[in-house]
Chain A
Amino acid sequence: MTTPSNEQVAAQEQLHDQFNDVWGNPRGWKSLTIVNHTTVGIRFMLTGLGFFLFGGLLAMLVRTQLAIPGYDFLEPDVYNQVFTMHGTVMMFLFAVPMMEGLAVYLIPKMLGARDLVFPRLSALGYWCYLFGGLILCASLLLGIAPKAGWFMYTPLSSAVHTPGPNSDFWLIGITFVEISAVSAGVELVVSILRTRAEGMSLNKMPIYAWYILVMAMMIVVGFPPLILGSILLELERAVGLPFFEVARGGDPILWQHLFWLFGHPEVYIIFLPAAGIVSTLLPVFCQRPLVGYRWVVLAILTTGFISFGLWVHHMFTVGIPQLAQAFFSAASMLVAIPTGIQVFAWIATLWVGRPLYHVPMLWLVGFLVIFVCGGLTGVMLALVPFDWQVHDTHFVVAHMHYVLVGGMFFPLLAGIYYWLPHFSGRMPSVRLGKWGFWLVFIGFNLTFLIMHWTGLMGMPRRIYTYQSGLGWDLPNLISSIGSFIMAIGIATVLLDIVLHFRFGQKATKNPWNADTLEWSTHLPPSPYNFVSLPPVRTRHPLWEVPDLEERIDRGEFALTVIDHGRRETWGIEPLTGKVREIIHLPGNSWWPFIASLFIAFTCLGLLSKFYWVALVASIVAVLVLLRWSWENGAHPLAAPDARVQPGEPPLHSRTCDGPGLWGMGVTLLANGALYLALLFGWFYLWTVSPNWLVPDDPVIDQRLLLASAVLLSVVVLWQRPVLRRLRQGQGEPAALITCFVGTALLGALHAGLLLWAILAGDLAPRATAHDAVIVVMLVYSLAHGALATILSALQALRVHYGYVCKRTPYEPLVVEQFWQYSLAVMWITYCSVVLFPPTFGGV
């Protein structure tokens, strides 16, 4: 390697300055506008850390209360709030956002991209997470926190048994936070599939990206059932629609189904990215590739799917037929096999490598020990008779903590120690790191290993105190002592992390001799990650091209021209990694912050029952989101200069297959999961609700519904040939405007008819669950029809302004998917509400 001349160094610095002009982060108030994935990822993780400390403090309160029998440190009502909030905060405000934050930070760097594909969506997700989390936590400080357990079982969480706003904080706050989770899920899926380095085919993708791809897809499909459940329960509490109340035709078990349809995959949503950290770090510390890459990919996919088939194992005691229990028991045992494949791949990697036991490796070994134990008690709990014995005892609490702390927290800390030099450019202290690990490891096992026995001795979970003489005194005291040792360990780790920013040794380049691309950025990284985008021909780019960082820095690779002012990264073909287009990314913006602020006002309006405030705030939020969408595609603010260098592919907004199309597709997948959960609720109540009330006459004008559905079909059929021509590079503005104005008018008519059908019907949604579900289904269709209408009207306006034309055909194709989805939903709703009931004893 030759030393660069002064001129070369100056040119290199000038190039970096140009990139900083376009990608740089503002300071002060304007830092609220930052959308860059590095900053957003770090914000997610720091906020997650804050919520973790809050949740940890609550755990300390719980353990203090349970340390000795008959203790009155916490009032029963406060205790209920504290344990509910501990679980809620740890699951929703720490575990998932922390893992997403790490993925948001790492994925573009590992894939050789400059940013995630929808940076403003990342920013929106972060602000929703922050505001939602703060609203939820504020409830505890006000003494009105949720207190029905982190899974909010009805009827305990209903308005009858928990009056006051306690449960509302959970239902509204968590739904708000879940906007963040789902938006990050969509963002990560599309980014992994479409913005990798040139040549990074699927088989060369870093294993961590596979884990995150599956995790993100699981979020997209798994979170919507809970969002739906939360909306239904809030409607029941606030408006009196009886989805879960037996007397009016509902069923509380429906809540359990909806919750656990989310809740069990949630465990794997947390575990998979943690396992991804393990599969990334072990090969580095063994200095050899992961054994069985393809087997591990297969295991990740299998875990992701089968984890959706286990939800009823949380409900073994509710009276489900034995055969159904056996299906879920078998699936619960089955999921241990792909996890086992990963464990054996890790052991084999350790076996054939030469492991170096740095601090991250301690956490990895701790993970292996604890997680395997937690997995084994999981297999025990999958056995129905054993589950009946220990259901709702401390045994389950101990198992859950072995799986979640062992399976998520230990790998997370391994990852944090590993990537700490990346975040800060400095190395942590080995001595403090080891002290921290051993204190946490010993404290954790003292707390939760003992808790298995406490549970086997019959101590139920969620009791605020217990009598002496039941044999629970000593194990509880030991668990409490252990938990404080664990807390001291965590404090030691935090101290190490804080001190390293000032006293840590400066990190050398690629300090662990890692193989993945994130270590080829600066330490800490610049906002654009890579000044030139390198091609990737191998799964281990830094092992096979050791001087890659210098070459990237010198601008030897692609997309180094930035005088056009655009933020750019490659758009690739998902399988082969061949470059297809240049994706131009939006820059910093106030819109995500403002939109989330108004969504927060909506939530506060709902919580305080000032419904007019909520309505106005939600309308403003929608208007802000639409205004945000205006600066898109071929808008001058989105792509100030549309020219590309000779030989380069076109900008994505000038193609028919940009990332927005994929983003809409994945979003509709999430939306479809929500709708399917609603359909499941409808058919479930028809089949098993103990007091299902069917009206004697039709409650809705079926002709209006049919007319509305037919109109929607006409819209979609009208658009199809016009958009086909647009794809082929044809279509004059006048024809496009006619089509979009026409479809918007027909769409408005469709929505109007649907509204008429709802208002003119004999629906009594407060009287029966039957009518309540129909109302929700029709309002869902109405909302889609109305939104599609607005989007088409905006498209007509954009054709008028020249943002959409045959050279820029991108956006109408995205909107078309939304119309098609709305059509499918409308017809399924029609069949379910009008055609199905007569076949099942209804009208």
Chain B
Amino acid sequence: MQPLRSPYNPIHIPLGLVLWSIWFVALYGGLSVGCALAPPDPAQGQWTWLNGLLALFSLLTMVAMLGLAWLFQRAARDQREGQPARFVARLSAGVNLIGAIATVFVALPTLSLPPCL
């Protein structure tokens, strides 16, 4: 069995989408808690501290996933590794890339809608 930190460990296959799931729950939970504790003035539209925080958090998550995708893709190109290991790395890279795309797509409404209406 590959060590846990190895990019060829199959445990990493779902990593990108696990991160996406945690981000998604945090996004929805953060919005709900923000609206419950300190709801921004509706007159501000989408340009509120809460939207900004959620958008920034999403941006950081996306960058982290893109970084992971790059790391896994680099590992997948290593010809010294066997086919199964490279398959796992390539799959992990793809999952991270999809996670990044999904993060951007789902977070886009933070730029266009007020948070608590």
A304 to B109, CA, bound (A): 23
Q: Does B1 contact A (CB under 8 A)?
A: yes
A-chain residues with CB within 8 Å of residue B107 when the two chains form the complex: 327
- Chain B residues whose C-beta falls within 8 Å of the C-beta of A298 in the assembled complex: 91, 94-95, 98
A252 interface contact, C-beta 8 A: no
How far is it, in angstroms, between the C-alpha of A688 and the C-alpha of B31 when the chains are bound?
12
Bound CA–CA A294/B13 (angstroms): 12
Bound together, the chains give a CA A683 to CA B102 distance in angstroms of: 26
Give the A interface residue count (CB, 8 A).
Answer: 32
Q: Does B82 contact A (CB under 8 A)?
A: yes
Stretch at the interface among A393-401, A458-466, A571-579: A571-579
Structural contact, B105 and A201, CB atoms closer than 8 A: no
The answer to the question of A776 belonging to the interface, with a C-beta cut-off of 8 Å to chain B, is no
A-B pairs, 5 with minimum CB distance: A326-B109, A305-B17, A201-B84, A203-B87, A323-B113
Query: Contacts of B109 on A, CB cut-off 8 Å?
Result: 323, 326-327, 330
A574 touches B1 (CB 8 A): yes
- Which residue of chain B has its CB nearest to the CB of A221? B21
Residues on B with beta carbons closer than 8 Å to the beta carbon of A302? 17, 95, 98, 102
| Interface pair B21/A327, CB less than 8 Å apart | no
Contact A321/B35 with A298-B91, A308-B21, A326-B109 known, Cβ cut-off 8 Å: yes
Cβ–Cβ contact B88 & A330, under 8 A: no
Contact call B113/A334, Cβ cutoff below 8 A: no
Which one, B10, B18, B108, B110, contacts A575 given CB within 8 A? B10
CA–CA, A203 and B27, complex, Å: 34
Interfacial chain A residues near B33, Cβ < 8 Å:
687
Query: CA separation between A326 and B98, bound complex, in Å?
Result: 19
* Interface contact A575-B17, CB-CB below 8 Å: no
- CB pair B10–A297 under 8 Å, yes or no, is no
Smallest CB gap from B86: residue in A: A203
CA distance A577 to B87 in the complex (A): 14
Contact A575 B106 (CB under 8 A): no
- Are A330's CB and B108's CB within 8 A? yes
Query: Per-residue 0/1 for A797-811: is the Cβ within 8 Å of any B Cβ (1 yes, 0 no)?
Result: 000000000000000
Q: Is the CB of B84 within 8 A of A321?
A: no
What B residues does A297 contact at CB under 8 A?
91
Tell me how far the C-beta of A387 lies from the nearest C-beta in chain B, rounded to whole angstroms. 16
- B4 at interface (Cβ–Cβ under 8 A)? no
A575 touches B21 (CB 8 A): no
The CA of A51 and the CA of B115, in the complex, are separated in Å by 46
Q: How long is the Cα–Cα vector from A625 to B4 in the complex, in angstroms?
A: 34
Q: How many A-B residue pairs have CB under 8 A?
A: 105
CB of B28 within 8 A of chain A?
yes
Known contacts A302-B98, A321-B35: A327-B87 contact under CB 8 Å = no
The residues of B that contact A334 with a CB separation of less than 8 Å are: 102, 105-106
- Tell me whether A301 and B17 are in contact in the complex, defined as CB-CB below 8 angstroms, given that A201-B84, A323-B110 are known contacts: yes
**Cα-based distance from A301 to B9 in the complex (angstroms):** 16
B33 to A, closest residue via Cβ: A687
Please pick, from A202, A305, A331, A683, the residue contacting B87 in the complex, using a CB distance under 8 A: A202
B14 near A305: Cβ-Cβ < 8 Å: yes
B116: nearest chain-A partner, CB-CB: A321
A305–B95 CA distance with the chains assembled, in angstroms: 10
Bound complex: CA A312 to CA B29 (Å): 13
If A201-B87, A294-B94, A330-B108 are given as contacts, then 10 extra A-B residue pairs at C-beta distance below 8 Å, sorted by A number, are A301-B17, A305-B17, A306-B102, A308-B21, A309-B24, A322-B117, A323-B31, A331-B106, A574-B1, A575-B10
Tell me if A545 is interfacial: C-beta within 8 Å of chain B.
no
Q: Are B106 and A323 touching (Cβ within 8 A)? A: no
Residues of A close to B102: CB separation below 8 A: 302, 306, 331, 334
Residue A495 CB within 8 A of the other chain = no
Q: CB-CB < 8 A to A327: which residues of B?
A: 24, 27-28, 31, 106-107, 109
